[in-house]
Chains A and B, each alone.
Chain A
Amino acid sequence: MMNLQQPLLQINNVKKYYPIKGGILQRVQGHVKAVEDVTIDVYEGETLGIVGESGCGKSTFGRAVLRLEPLTEGSIVFKGQEIGTLSDRKLKAFKREMQMIFQDPYASLNPRQRVGDALEEAFIIHTSLSKKERKEKVLNLLDEVGLKAEHYDRYPHEFSGGQRQRIGIARAISLNPSFIVCDEAVSALDVSVQAQVIKLLKDLQEKHQLTYMFISHDLGVVRHISDRVLVMYLGNTAELAPADRIYDNPLHPYTKALLSAIPRPVPGRKRNRVKLEGDLPNPANPPKGCSFHTRCPLATVRCKEERPIWREVEENHFVACHEV
């Protein structure tokens, strides 16, 4: 499925800082470094999973890639064109190509808008289709995500969580995008509904040649759906490898700790639990050197001083760690 030759999206040194303002004059006193230097290529047709604990910048990264937030620094090249610095007006054409599925299916739909109207919005904004043509398109969309034509006239609160997420998916694929960011797309759903929505996402991917960036904290789900997995820690990339390799042979000590936290279905079996001490450091004031050194079991003096470089230790397996 995955085509390693052609990057659909080249993300280079993307940074996203949020200013912290304070005092009477609202001066900038510092920055929350939500995303600190991420470089990665996304290939056409693949699913790139992004994992990390809460506050590691994975959602912000997803939003920054879609240019829902202006970048602080860095470049994003989509299908050969730089979009990191495009103005909002020029960006509109690219919004057709890049879409997002949101975490909370309850919050991501306008409660005052019928489902049909909500799905028509995309066609009103980007096409000049007539009312009738738009309705036809929307009915097709509803069918495609497993909803019925009778749902066209209903309000969002009349649906279950899973159905709402299907509406969110329909909205995301309505303009035939090539790239979709799924930000915790199934985290708010029951496990059984999760499986159905993941299956729908996979079916749609096959049918429309979609490329996914699948952001989640659920390591099991990510393994199931992803071709490659990126581990993030405090706005930095920690490790990137094909899904099976990262789960079977994690190299970065943070990845090891994350994976050892997955509950095992076999009771009583011993496992080597890597426990992390302390909390995530404050992203407004990240530690010097390797951002993980404060909690890392392998940390040395070098880790406190020098930031590890992002390097390819084996084919398609990138790590940022001095000790690997």
Chain B
Amino acid sequence: MPASEAVATQSKLGKQTEGKQKVIVVTLKKLLKNRLAVFGLFIIFIQILMAVFAPWITHYSPVTQSLVNSELPVGSENHWLGTDNYGRDMWSRIVFGARISLVVGLVSVILGLTGGIALGLISGYFRKLDGWIMRFVDLLFAFPGILLAMLIIAMLGTSLVNVMIAISIWSIPTCARIVRGSVLSVKKQEYIVAMKSLGAGNSRILIKHILPNCMAPIIVFATMRMATAILSTSALSFLGLGAQPPTPEWGAMIAAGQDYMWTSPHMTIVPGIAIMLVVFAFNVLGDGLRDALDPNMDLG
């Protein structure tokens, strides 16, 4: 290396040692400094544990009824969160409900992201299609989200699978807009022109060069969207459009508990707290990620 460049490198040495770490490590370090985000991560981690090991953490079935033990309050012997009106263990239902909300959230966000990213990439990159795709997205935006979901469910029928489809369709327009915006700024970058001058095809440029540079807003969106998806699943199930009894879905549990509000308030409060904690957790994690993935950060 020529001498003067060596000097230039020397002055950057402090930055270099840091730069050798991967982006993920740098982002995580920043994220772990944010207490709220750490709290969010902790809750999500617990939810994942509950979802994965559900049959091992509770020895009661979430659906088998035991009318002798119905409406036991919180803190009862053998049922620390009590039981519902059919004598089903609340803790067991919460644990299995965690599995449902996590799966529904993940699947609908992944489906929605796939559609949204594809539309956003095409729309941002190919100017001729931009107008058409964006008008279609506007069309989806014109419906209030929960109404759109209800409309889709009305067409497809009530079931948890249809809720996932409805929520993923509802996620598409927002995601498409976010991705399109990033693509518009990234595609002007000189390294994209450089790839064109090398003769790279459009699909190669889009997937290998533009998409990885649009990931930060997508990750933040996906996290926040998990919260919305979980909340909407519960809302739709509460309205009787999603999970059907006896599925231990949190929203459906609240709906079932409504009639017992005065005699057994824990039947609505416990799943309510579960929903609140998880939605809160994903939201604060999303906020933390947004700060940690600051676009001004020296990404490598």
Contact = CB atoms under 8 A, between A and B. Distances in A.
Nearest to B300: A155
A145 B3 CA distance: 15
Contact of A193 (B5, B212, B298, B299): B5
A171 B196 CA distance: 12
Given A92-B199, A113-B208, 18 more contacts: A95-B198, A102-B190, A102-B193, A107-B191, A110-B212, A111-B299, A112-B23, A112-B213, A122-B199, A126-B199, A147-B1, A148-B1, A155-B300, A157-B299, A161-B8, A168-B194, A190-B8, A196-B5
B193 A68 contact: yes
B299 A100 contact: no
B19 A125 contact: no
B103 to A, nearest CB: 31
Interface of A: 63, 66, 68, 91-92, 95-96, 98-100, 102-104, 107-113, 121-122, 125-126, 146-148, 154-163, 168, 171, 175, 190, 192-193, 196
A95 B195 CA distance: 11
Main secondary structure of the interface of B (DSSP, over half): helix
Contacts of B209: 110, 113
B75 interface: no
Contacts of B299: 111-112, 157
Given A157-B298, A157-B300, A163-B5, A100 B19 contact: no
16 contacts: A68-B196, A91-B199, A99-B198, A107-B189, A108-B190, A109-B191, A112-B212, A112-B300, A121-B198, A157-B15, A157-B19, A159-B9, A161-B8, A162-B4, A171-B198, A192-B4
A196 B16 CA distance: 23
B200 A121 contact: yes
Which residue, of A99, A100, A110, A155, has the highest number of chain B Cβ atoms within 10 A? A110
A92 B16 CA distance: 37
B76 interface: no
A100 B19 CA distance: 28
Interface string B153-166: 00000000000000
A160 B12 contact: yes
Nearest to A147: B1
Contacts of A95: 197-199
Given A158-B19, A158-B300, A107 B5 contact: no
A127 to B, nearest CB: 11
Nearest to B3: A192
Contacts of B212: 110, 112-113
A122 B8 contact: no
A160 B190 contact: no
B194 A196 contact: no
Contacts of B4: 162, 190, 192-193, 196
B25 to A, nearest CB: 13
B144 interface: no
Contacts of A100: 193-194, 197
A16 to B, nearest CB: 15
Contacts of A92: 199
Contacts of A103: 190
A125 B200 contact: yes
Contacts of B196: 68
B204 interface: yes
B7 to A, nearest CB: 9
Contact of B199 (A107, A125, A190): A125
A158 B197 contact: no
A125 B204 contact: yes
Contact of B5 (A91, A122, A154, A160): A160
Interface in B1-53: 1-2, 4-5, 8-9, 12, 15-16, 19-20, 23
Interface string B203-214: 010001100110
A30 B7 CA distance: 50
Nearest to B213: A112
A190 B3 CA distance: 13
A247 to B, nearest CB: 27
Given A95-B199, A121-B200, A146 B213 contact: no
A104 B190 contact: yes
Contacts of B191: 107-111
Nearest to A162: B5
A96 B199 contact: yes
Nearest to A158: B19
Contacts of A171: 194, 198
Nearest to B193: A68
Contacts of B19: 155, 157-158
Contact of B197 (A99, A111, A160, A196): A99
Which residue, of A102, A112, A113, A155, has the highest number of chain B Cβ atoms within 10 A? A112
Which residue, of B1, B15, B191, B200, has the highest number of chain A Cβ atoms within 10 A? B191
